Amino acid sequence: MDLEAAPRRSARALAQGLNGELVLVHVDTGMYYTLNEVGSLVWELCDGSLTVAEVVARVCDEFDAPAAEVKSDVLELVEHLADEKLLTAAS
């Protein structure tokens, strides 16, 4: 996904908070994934209404982190979740 894409959580993904982390389960494969606090925020922001660039900006604001590092990390996470069919591009 590029910075202008608007990722949306898949209907085939279930999310549950557990001990300060977020556990995602893909209902079709049974695979599960654990996200830390930053990853959990990215997941919550991926509702199809924000572009990846806007998600990056919000994460930077929330954690007062350098934009270049956040951009790289968010892109990597979004691409990984999309590869795992947990995120799709909003149409």
Res 12: pLDDT: 95
Element (H, E) at 61: helix 52-63
Extract the tokens encoding 12: 């085939």
The CATH number assigned to the domain holding 14 equals 1.10.10.1150
Judge whether 4 lies within some domain: no
Q: What is the pLDDT of residues 7-52, one digit of tens each?
A: 999 999 999 998 889 999 999 999 999 999 999 999 999 999 999 9
Judge whether 48 lies within some domain: yes
Res 91: pLDDT: 64
Could you list the residue range(s) of the whole structural domain that residue 59 is in? 9-85
Res 70: pLDDT: 96
- How many domains would you assign to the chain? 1
Judge whether 2 lies within some domain: no
Backbone angles phi, psi at 58, to 5 degrees: -65, -40
